Amino acid sequence: MKFSKLFIKTKKDYPKDEVAVSSQLLIRAGYIDKVAAGVYTLLPFGLKVVSKIITQIRSEMDAADAQEIYMPGLVPKANWETTDRWKTFDALYKLKGADEREFALGATHEEIVVPLAREFVESYKDLPLALYQIQNKFRNEIRAKSGVLRTREFLMKDLYSFHKNEEDLNQYYDKMIQSYWNIFDKCGIKEKTYLTFASGGTFCKYSHEFQTETEAGEDEIYVCAECKTGLNSDILADQENGKFKCPDCANTEYEIKKAVEVGNIFKLGTKYSKPFDLNFVDEKGKKNLVIMGCYGIGIQRLMGTIVEINHDEKGIIWPKAVAPYDVHLISLEGSEKRGEEVYQALFKAGISVLYDDRDISAGEKFADCDLIGIPYRLVVSQRTQDKIEVKKRDEDETKQLSEEELLKILG
């Protein structure tokens, strides 16, 4: 992509009510545009990052034998009434259609996926089953002040698993924990993320959240000083005398951290299979309710969290797997022809390039490059001649490489 052809421009400023550093940087660097509190447009760079994150998530979900579907955003009132959530789910956006039929915009999708599974699941042979989607969720959040970390419309990966017994659910649940770690590793936030026990509902004492430590987070977690397992402060009341005791190793020493929930996994049991009467016939010919789990990741929240963890005073520092481009090429005055040559050569080699071919000062180009945060900066100038100056975004050292040498390190 040539910068001169892009419709976006980087900005010096951001909206005054934008308090989270991640959203300030994402706005200034041209990844997102704020429409209203909790409502954002993804601009070309932002959409590329989101697509890269989705690619990572998809490969992990597919590896866990989950099948991708796409459910509607309009969820009929009758479905919410079946689960008793029309009145109790505060964050629902409700609307009436032309024929007076009422809907709520999907804030979560048990109300669609469970009746769907009911159409196909008959016997134990149809289980286990895992269905997921990457789709927009709508939530009428009261607090929407943390930029993309808490929005009213956002992409979520939501997976629902269906099992014949608890043991099978437990196995899948543990597998998903590993899948989530793989995703957060690729996204460059694993080191700062804690598997955190949170309240679990009727079926299970605990659910688990993946909480990433950041000052921008709205949650408070207690992290075990021994094994680094987290406990959400909201469930502390369940603990003996409301005092911290690690649910994993029983240690009582802890550290309090501010964190954001990037993912949530939950053993639902029969909470939704019961109202929809989703059952199966077991090996002995007996009818049983299907046991379920659900597993969510907020995509834009994850993008924001990556930026919270990976930035410096100059801008964003994207981990390779989710960067909008592989390299950021800059040609300085007098080297436009050489810039074009290198751009074409990289393009042919399958490297994705943001090429800053604009007629602006070198200082402005370098500042934008640091702000945008692509892993490699490449510079061609009269000084570099037939070589290319290469610098990693997170290092100061520059190297002069030939095209061939460059392709080797990028390959």
Does the footprint of ligand ATP cover residue 230 (CB under 6 A)? no
Does the footprint of ligand ATP cover residue 264 (CB under 6 A)? yes
Does the footprint of ligand ATP cover residue 113 (CB under 6 A)? no
Give me the helix-helix angle, 299-309 and 44-63, nearest 10°: 110
- Tell me how many helices (H) and strands (E) the chain has: 10, 23
E strands in 285-397: 287-289, 291-298, 311-312, 315-316, 327-331, 353-356, 376-380, 388-392
The half-sphere exposure of 11 on its side-chain side, counting CA atoms within 13 A, is: 16
Q: How distant is the alpha carbon of residue 307 from its chain centre?
A: 11
Q: Which is nearer to ligand ATP, 89 or 340 (CB)?
A: 89
Within residues 278-317, the interface with ligand ATP by CB under 6 A covers 296-298, 300-301
Does the footprint of ligand ATP cover residue 235 (CB under 6 A)? no
Where does this chain touch ligand ATP (CB under 6 A) — which range of 147-155, 247-255, 319-327, 330-338? Answer: 147-155
Rg, the chain, Cα only = 24
Q: Which does 319 bind (CB under 5 to 8 A by kind): ligand ATP, Mg ion, none?
A: none
Residues with Cβ within 8 Å of 26's Cβ and at least 6 positions away in sequence, in order, are 32, 46, 147, 148, 303, 304, 307, 316
The b-or-e profile of 380-404 (16+ CB within 10 A means b, else e) is bbeebeebbbbbebeeeeeeebeee
Contact 156, 298 (CB under 8 A): yes
Q: Which does 150 bind (CB under 5 to 8 A by kind): ligand ATP, Mg ion, none?
A: ligand ATP
E strands in 139-278: 153-163, 193-199, 206-213, 219-224, 230-232, 254-269
Q: How distant is the alpha carbon of residue 208 from its chain centre?
A: 16
Does the footprint of ligand ATP cover residue 267 (CB under 6 A)? no
Q: Which does 60 bind (CB under 5 to 8 A by kind): ligand ATP, Mg ion, none?
A: none
Does the footprint of ligand ATP cover residue 111 (CB under 6 A)? no
3-state secondary structure 277-290: CCEEECCCCCEEEC
Q: Which does 139 bind (CB under 5 to 8 A by kind): Mg ion, ligand ATP, none?
A: ligand ATP
Under DSSP, is residue 386 helix (H, G, I), strand (E, B) or coil?
coil
Q: Which does 164 bind (CB under 5 to 8 A by kind): Mg ion, ligand ATP, none?
A: none
Residues 149 and 54: their CA atoms lie apart, in Å, by 17
Q: CB of residue 300 vs ligand ATP: minimum separation in angstroms? A: 6
Does the footprint of ligand ATP cover residue 217 (CB under 6 A)? no
Does the footprint of ligand ATP cover residue 151 (CB under 6 A)? yes
Q: CB of residue 151 vs ligand ATP: minimum separation in angstroms? A: 4
Q: Which does 154 bind (CB under 5 to 8 A by kind): Mg ion, ligand ATP, none?
A: ligand ATP
Q: CB of residue 163 vs Mg ion: minimum separation in angstroms? A: 23
Interface mask (CB under 5 A) for Mg ion, residues 202-241, using x and -? ----------------------------------------
CA distances to 72, 76, 95, 369 from 100, rounded to whole Å, are 19, 11, 9, 52
Return the residue nearest ligand ATP (CB atom): 298
Q: Which is nearer to Mg ion, 265 or 379 (CB)?
A: 265
Does the footprint of ligand ATP cover residue 156 (CB under 6 A)? yes
Within residues 253-282, the interface with Mg ion by CB under 5 A covers 261
Q: Which is nearer to ligand ATP, 32 or 121 (CB)?
A: 32
Q: What is the size of the binding site for ligand ATP (CB under 6 A)?
A: 16
Within residues 18-77, the interface with Mg ion by CB under 5 A covers none
Q: Which does 156 bind (CB under 5 to 8 A by kind): ligand ATP, Mg ion, none?
A: ligand ATP
Q: Which is nearer to Mg ion, 18 or 261 (CB)?
A: 261
Q: How distant is the alpha carbon of residue 241 from its chain centre?
A: 36
Q: In what order do the strands lie in the sheet with 74-76?
A: 74-76, 102-105, 94-96
Q: CB of residue 139 vs ligand ATP: minimum separation in angstroms? A: 5
Q: Which is nearer to ligand ATP, 108 or 229 (CB)?
A: 108
Does the footprint of ligand ATP cover residue 139 (CB under 6 A)? yes
Contact 328, 354 (CB under 8 A): yes
Binding site for ligand ATP (CB under 6 A): 108, 139, 141, 150-151, 154, 156, 261-264, 296-298, 300-301
Catalog residues that contact Mg ion under the rule CB under 5 A: 261
